[in-house]
Amino acid sequence: MADDNNEPSNKEIVDLMQTICKRLDPIDSINDRLSFIEKRLDKIDLLEQRLSGMEKELNKMRISLEDRTKYTNKRVAWLEDRVESSDMRIRLLSTRIAELERQLGEVRHDVTSQSMRNNLIFTNLPEDNSSGNEAAEVTERKLRHHLISVLNFAAESAESIRFKRVHRTPDQLCNDGKIRHI
């Protein structure tokens, strides 16, 4: 303090200002850092909000998946029951089909046996092989003639007999003199 009136000199004021500035520099630096930290904290708050929203969405998705899983499990259990019952029905039907096939075989055997019982077989009636195969009408005419001439049937009786089918046995034509049965 150069003067006695206690007023500071210019130099003292400049020195004081420099001292204050030096002291303020760290404060400005601290303020800058605090400002920077506040900006970072704001960003962290925004990220926290976004994460919270994502967490809610993930929970919704998890619940939805759990519901779907429960529904799918119920549906699979229902389908398994259906498959099991279908398998049982298939086994029953297979058994029934086998039984019906066995019965069909018996019926075929009975029909074959019955049709053979109703067949009459005549042998040694000459066959006309000139055309390669004797016509059914010719074979029937020969049979009726045989009934009258050889077996001594009355002509009216022989003519009144109704044959379902008159034919030669299905053996190959015999050119060596053998005659097929009627």
Mean pLDDT split into 10-residue runs, the chain, 182 residues: 67 79 65 82 89 94 95 95 93 94 87 69 76 78 86 85 81 62 77
- What is the pLDDT, as a whole number, of residue 172? 57
- What is the pLDDT, as a whole number, of residue 1? 46
Residue 50 lies in a domain: no
Residue 144 lies in a domain: yes
Residue 174 lies in a domain: yes
Q: How many domains does the chain have?
A: 1
- What is the pLDDT, as a whole number, of residue 108? 84
Q: Determine the Cα–Cα distance for residues 180 and 147; give it in Å rounded to an integer.
A: 18
Residue 7 lies in a domain: no
Q: Which pTM value belongs to this model?
A: 0.37
163 Cβ contact list (under 8 Å, min separation 6): 140, 143
Residue 22 lies in a domain: no
Residue 13 lies in a domain: no
* Helix spans in 9-135 (H): 10-117
- What is the pLDDT, as a whole number, of residue 32? 76
Residue 73 lies in a domain: no
- What is the pLDDT, as a whole number, of residue 114? 64
Residue 140 lies in a domain: yes
Range of the domain at 152: 120-182
